[in-house]
Structure 1
């Protein structure tokens, strides 16, 4: 019996088919190596994405378990799948042009399963649909949800505190009780719990459930459950501080409660899965796939040749973009003579990395002190719109609200109202990309990418102005701040090189 099974496996998986599959993986690595390297760096550095290191090995293992439902000796390449492959390659080019690693990672880890789908064909790809697209969990994505999760966690925890009648006052992400003040910081957003719960939920649903409705229902539970659980965790920490007069639930206690609570969340999630999953008697094994006829060598050569041609074209395109992003000459710095240099304010400090030039000063306007910070990223020198760059230090400030005002020539200027335990500040900003003034960071990024792909990019900069205020005079200060922005707009923009 064992010899017969081994022979059948050999008939299903020919040497030519295995080589073709390995060739596709090598072409993927050679073309998207930069996306792979930057993703691995994030996996190793960021605890939130350590699980990504195990995603591809897990996918390979799940595909191996399905080996009897596959036949590499009888592939039916689906050339229509090349269309999304080309789209994926285009997304990578956009990410490379704008330095948007998220786009690069999305393209990198969608191109691989799509290319395997292309080679095997619809029938066989459907057999390993989950293992193929489980590879998408390699994409280090989710940190963009941190601000939303912070808000939701703060909202839910405040609601729970009101249920037990704890006196509270909320200002932005700060929650104050009579015994002390708490900040729903990034670490309190529960992003690590959320991502890990979703990954584990998807794995559990695939391994233990067959009904599509059951699987989808459990994945939805895996998305909602950690959000509610994290809000309960924050509520518990604040309530503990209230009941113990801040003797507990501060400092290292957060970490202890966090890891213990996370373990309980996963146990509860799996317990819910056990209630939802089918009984063992209801599970039906997948039938073995028996190929009717083997694919000729010319079929493999044609499929691999077409994909190789596509990846070579993409590789050349990416090298051209890389050449446009490199700095060929020494760029000019900011024109610091526009405004006199003064010591930077210690009350408000932005945080930017890899900039080519930065200028900070302050000046008086109608007896109010205005802090100015300008950063400059010329072609080939860093990335302006990046998650690593912050217009204020989030350990000291939190966003309370944001709004837009009409500046010169009806240009929309974005203003953030940021607060901490003692102060409230107004923070206005705008972007300068290749001589064009833009108010929104996403618009600025897209315009920068557009100019890079045309080979016309020169540089991008950001202007930030901040003024301290008080709640009692906030409306008056808002009008004064707008007047200042309107009057100083043109002068400040002259700081950027032409």
Structure 2
């Protein structure tokens, strides 16, 4: 920013110094208040292979601001109180994330509060000049994992025809492919999601810095998504084909090295090459024209007051969260239900499928036998929900992260429960499948939707309601000649009201 101040008049240069000092102080206080979320963000950037590209977003934002230094030097920063609305909106988002145990919402809210501090302390005119760098800061927040399941299916859809064309006999069962001598799982890590997420961040940057036409920008962004998906499908096919020619150990080992270090660079270069011919923005073109950015007619506020209000408004939300938090006691032991017509034959054996809830206060897994095959009942009780102890946390629930049970497909609900077909390939020879039905009881609500669980949890935390939550699962193996859905439905009817079962499990 020093180069900017040299170009500016002494009065404007002094204004920049004052406002930048105020912004740095406010940002430092906000980061200190939300240090837990900052630490979590940095940990994700450093350890996650999906979001490692986020480490480069900060330097890129700094470079984007530096590119605008001459134009910014021709503007006069002014504190602007309407920017506090963005601080408040970010704080509210953080509070929703804190109440629902959603780290994405907390991290998004933190970034929005810092964006709001820039708008408030530098003013609307300067914020318009910094519009793209400010917006690009949203890529600091790890997001996009929801695209993994559809990308897994797309990868399978690309691989299967190529295997048939190459003469390798292959069948697919959800995300499992049996090709030649081996079983292959198109896991989340193989879906190409991390590649697509990084390419979207890269594509947005190139679209802004290398194109003026919005049509060309949109076309380049589309290419940035389509090419990685197709390339990932070809990579997966190549891995399976190589395994058929050599061995699965040799093929997957080579694939991980190539995919991690070479493949991303090749596809990135290919995307740039496709768009290069249509670049229509000169490399030295100004990022914006300061003459077109008129200062707003109103909204001016003194810099010291604006700084204090920014910090105070950001600090309100953690105080609200602390004021409405309260401990919920879960007493006693979890009683074993006795559904009529079913016989309790003991706990679910070790090694069999069980839901994974490491943060639950109480758990129960019982195997029953009725007219058909055994049906397992699993219950997990949470006294309250938060980071590390909640329903719907990544890597918990029906499918444990990197566990041996894999999702095959979702099926039609049973008595309001979500139903999933899962499988566990055994030594590469065959697959054992199970049907799992899931209900959640949160407060007075029975649902199978994890989003509804988060909403009810938010309401309880924000307004002081009961925070107990219960996960209830019924599961049974899928075997020929037997209706697994009918067995689960019969067990659900014998258990009676799911709401009552959840209340009893929670000690109500």
Fold agreement, TM-score > 0.5 = yes
2:428 aligns with none
2:485 aligns with 478
Structure 1 residues 291 and 33, CA gap change in structure 2 (3 angstroms): farther
Post-superposition Cα deviations, 1:269-292, rounded to whole Å, max 9, x if no partner, equal: 222232332375x96445774899
1:352 aligns with 357
1:205 aligns with 207
The equivalences for 1:248-397 within 5 A come to 250-259=251-260, 260-278=262-280, 280=282, 284-285=285-286, 289=290, 299=300, 301=302, 305-306=305-306, 308-309=308-309, 311-325=311-325, 327=327, 330-338=329-337, 342-379=347-384, 382-393=389-400, 395-397=403-405
Post-superposition Cα deviations, 1:295-342, rounded to whole Å, max 9, x if no partner, equal: 9xx9562x5524633542452332231343353x65325523446652
1:469 Cα deviation after fit:
1.5
2:424 aligns with 420
2:451 aligns with 442
2:463 aligns with 454
Structure 1 residues 279 and 308, CA gap change in structure 2 (3 angstroms): closer
Contact 1:326 1:380 in 2 (8 A): no
TM-score w.r.t. the length of structure 1 is: 0.87
1:495 aligns with 505
Structure 1 residues 96 and 333, CA gap change in structure 2 (3 angstroms): farther
1:197 Cα deviation after fit:
1.6
Q: Give the distance between the partners of 1:285 and 1:446, measured in 2 at CA.
A: 45
Structure 1 residues 362 and 85, CA gap change in structure 2 (3 angstroms): same
Post-superposition Cα deviations, 1:139-188, rounded to whole Å, max 9, x if no partner, equal: 01122222121111111222333344532211111111233221101221
1:86 Cα deviation after fit:
2.4
Q: Equivalent residue of 1:423, what SS?
A: strand
Structure 1 residues 404 and 290, CA gap change in structure 2 (3 angstroms): closer
Q: Give the distance between the partners of 1:65 and 1:32, measured in 2 at CA.
A: 30
Instruction: Work out which of the residue numbers 425, 429, 432 in structure 1 matches 2:438.
Output: 429
Contact 2:115 2:134 in 1 (8 A): yes
Q: Equivalent residue of 1:368, what SS?
A: coil
1:423 Cα deviation after fit:
1.6
Between 309-318 and 348-357, the greater mean CA deviation after superposition: 309-318
Q: Give the distance between the partners of 1:288 and 1:467, measured in 2 at CA.
A: 66
- Does 2:18 correspond to 1:8? no
Structure 1 residues 313 and 478, CA gap change in structure 2 (3 angstroms): same
Contact 2:37 2:107 in 1 (8 A): yes
Structure 1 residues 91 and 5, CA gap change in structure 2 (3 angstroms): closer
CA RMSD across the alignment: 3.2
Instruction: Work out which of the residue numbers 64, 68, 71 in structure 1 matches 2:66.
Output: 64
In the alignment, structure 1 segments of 5+ residues that lack a partner are none
Structure 1 residues 77 and 316, CA gap change in structure 2 (3 angstroms): closer
2:114 aligns with 112
Structure 1 residues 249 and 451, CA gap change in structure 2 (3 angstroms): same
